[in-house]
Amino acid sequence: MSALKIGAEVQEALDARRPVVALESTIISHGLPADERITAAREFEQLLRDSGATPATIAVLDGLPHIGIDDADIELLAADGIAKASVRDLPIVAALGRSAATTVAATAHLAAAAGIRVFATGGLGGVHRGANESFDESADLPELGRTPVAVVCAGVKSILDIGATLERLETLSVPLVGLQTDVFPSFWLRESEHRLDWRVEDAGQIADVLRAQDGFGHSAGLVVANPVPVDQQWDRDEHDRVVQEALADAGAKGIVGKAVTPFLLGRIVELSGGRSLAVNLDLVRNNIRVAAAIATAYAG
pLDDT digits (tens, 9 = 90+) for 266-291: 899 999 999 999 999 999 999 999 99
How many structural domains is the chain composed of? 2
The reply to whether 139 sits in an annotated binding site is yes
CA–CA separation, 78 vs 28, rounded Å?
6
Q: Angle 61-148-76 (CA atoms, 0-180°, nearest 5)?
A: 15
Same domain, 161 and 254: yes
Segments of 32-77 assigned E as strands: 54-61, 64-67
Q: Say how many residues make up the chain.
A: 300
Same domain, 171 and 54: no
pLDDT, mean of residues 178-190: 96
Which has more confidence, 52 or 300? 52
The reply to whether 140 sits in an annotated binding site is yes
CA atoms within 13 Å, Cβ hemisphere of 174: 26
Burial class (CB in 10 A: 0-12, 13-18, 19+), 193: exposed
- The domain of 250 spans 123-300
The reply to whether 136 sits in an annotated binding site is yes
Same domain, 162 and 76: no
> What element of type H or E holds 145?
none
Catalytically annotated residues: 24, 157
Q: What is the CATH number of the domain that holds 64?
A: 3.40.1790.10
The reply to whether 84 sits in an annotated binding site is yes
Residue-wise pLDDT tens digits, 83-128: 999 999 999 999 999 999 999 999 999 999 999 999 999 999 988 7
pLDDT, mean of residues 199-218: 97
Alpha-carbon dihedral sign for residues 152, 155, 157, 162: positive
